[in-house]
Amino acid sequence: MTLPVYVDPDLSAACVGETIRLDGDEARHAATVRRTRVGERIDIVNGKGLRATITVTDVAKSSLVGTVEHVANDPAHNPQITLVQALAKGGRDEQAVETATEYGADAFIPWQAERSIVSWSDPAKARKGVGRWEATAQSAAKQSRRSWIPTVDQPHSSASLACHIADCCADGGVVYICHESATTPITTQLDSSSRKVMIVVGPEGGITDKELELLTNAGGRVVLLGEHVLRSATAGPWAIAVIRA
């Protein structure tokens, strides 16, 4: 059975036998929500692959202390998958981030698509939005016992996304643009030799013809996910599941 995971970004190269202290929100969650007790084993990760398994020796309301029993550096995913998720109403974009993290996404790019009803054009809204996505990704990573926490980029316009796609392709990556009018199934386009994969999912209203032309000219491949039309919240996770299978 896997162990509960807590995050400490400052976790350094822990050694077996050392004492580790966990403070703040993570410790409060362990102590008051999960009711962790002395003698239990938990994992502490730094979000970048380092995982320390500890046996708890002391628990307080806002701190937890334990002895390191095992240390591992978990390898990063291959390929690295970035989900470009168009901003969506009703929290569906955050739902996509949550599920995609559980399915193995490594990074997220918020996309201010032309038909996105939600707007992050205001810098304050953008900061809050990115913060929510980061919190969602961390929570989902803990739930799925991951030691790597996906990163969240700043929001991209269609023009800046096209540049990002071009850079990805130039670096040997592959970019899949999910579109309901596509005729090529994604399952026929999988490239096992590529170490970088980008998946582009549009908003509820779909990707405009102008955007589609812009992104395909940058190197993206338009693909069909299946015979049924998926919501913006489920398309990306479904594509990730296919690639990870």
Query: What local confidence, expressed as pLDDT, does residue 10 receive?
Result: 87
pTM assigned to the model: 0.94
Contacts of 40 (CB under 8 A, 6+ apart): 55, 56
**What pLDDT does residue 192 have?**
85
SS (H, E, C) the chain: CCCCEEECCCCCCCCCCCEEEEEHHHHHHHHHHCCCCCCCEEEEECEECEEEEEEEEEECCCEEEEEEEEEEECCCCCCEEEEEEECCHHHHHHHHHHHHHHHCCCEEEEECCCCCCCCCCCHHHHHHHHHHHHHHHHHHHHHCCCCECCEECCCECHHHHHHHHHHHHHCCCEEEEECCCCCCEHHHCCCCCCCEEEEEECCCCCCCHHHHHHHHHCCCEEEECCCCCCCHHHHHHHHHHHHHC
pLDDT of residue 243: 96
CA distance 106 to 102: 10
pLDDT score recorded for residue 191: 86
CA distance 178 to 185: 10
Cα–Cα distance measured from residue 225 to residue 28, given in angstroms and rounded to the nearest whole number:
42
Please report where in the chains the tokens 């007790």 appear, as a residue: 37
Instruction: Give pLDDT tens digits along the chain (245 positions).
Output: 799 999 999 888 689 999 999 999 999 999 999 999 999 999 999 999 999 999 999 999 889 999 999 999 999 999 999 999 999 999 999 999 999 999 999 999 999 999 999 999 999 999 999 999 999 999 999 999 999 999 999 999 999 999 999 999 999 999 999 999 999 999 999 988 899 999 999 999 999 999 999 999 999 999 999 888 899 999 999 999 999 99
- What is the distance between the alpha carbons of residues 68 and 58, in angstroms, rounded to a whole number? 13
Q: Tell whether the torsion through CA atoms of 233, 33, 8 and 56 is positive or negative.
A: negative
For residue 41, what are the β-bridge partners? 55
Domains of the chain (ranges; CATH) run 5-73 (2.40.240.20), 80-244 (3.40.1280.10)
122 HSE (CA, 13 A, CB side): 6
The reported pLDDT for the residue numbered 1 is 76
